[in-house]
Structure 1
Amino acid sequence: MSYEIGEFAKKVNLTIDTLRYYEKEGLIKPQRAKNGHRQFLESDLKWVEFIKRLKLTGMPIKDIKKYAELRRKGNSTIDERMLLLGNQQKLLLGQQTEIQSHLDFLAQKIKMYQNMKNDLNKS
């Protein structure tokens, strides 16, 4: 099954302009119908969802573009793709540690204020 750009945009919850931008950047390469219109396939659905997920991890477009180029080259680039994903994973783990530190700080302050409030109510 194939989709024209408007229908595809709705399916992946992106704007037509975003899809055109992704194409311009080389992230996606839709097929063209005889009339020149873009035709997106089922495999494009999964790929765009993957791109969206990479963006949610904070991966920069330049790195997603590099990943897309490697993907097009085939299985010989698996190690390079794993490296890109591993680098993003390390970045997220670092952010997770920092966020946990902030959460611990806030929990400590909240507990301190709860204890102060309890002490005031005893008086």
Structure 2
Amino acid sequence: MKHCLIVDDSRVIRKVSRHIVESFEFEVSEAENGRDALVKCEESMPDLILLDWNMPVMNGIEFIAALRRLAGGNEPKVVFCTTENDVAHIREAIEAGADEYVMKPFDHETLQMKLQLIGAA
């Protein structure tokens, strides 16, 4: 079974995201900031990461830069899930190593489409 790590400081967003991703038959784990997510990735690299931008301790951009430097860190598909919607933020996320970008709030259909685009669904 494929594994998805949901990284968001909002417990509500993690819960909603979990419900959607589990419907795609992913095993799901959660982290509330980038540093906790990095530890989880070092323990077991997920197939997919849904990543918030604005978090305490380590934000999404800092996390993805650190992730991509890990052994196997280029393997997970990373989807930024954020309220940041200007072109500069989207460009920064893609240049940092994100595979796709989705705006919050997102729904089942939107996320499914994005995952199909990157070959993760």
- TM-score of the aligned structures, taking structure 1 as reference length: 0.28
- TM-score of the aligned structures, taking structure 2 as reference length: 0.28
Greater share of helix residues, 1 or 2?
Answer: 1
The structure with more radius of gyration: 1
Greater share of strand residues, 1 or 2?
Answer: 2
Tell which has more relative contact order, 1 or 2 (C-alpha 8 A, sep 6+). 2
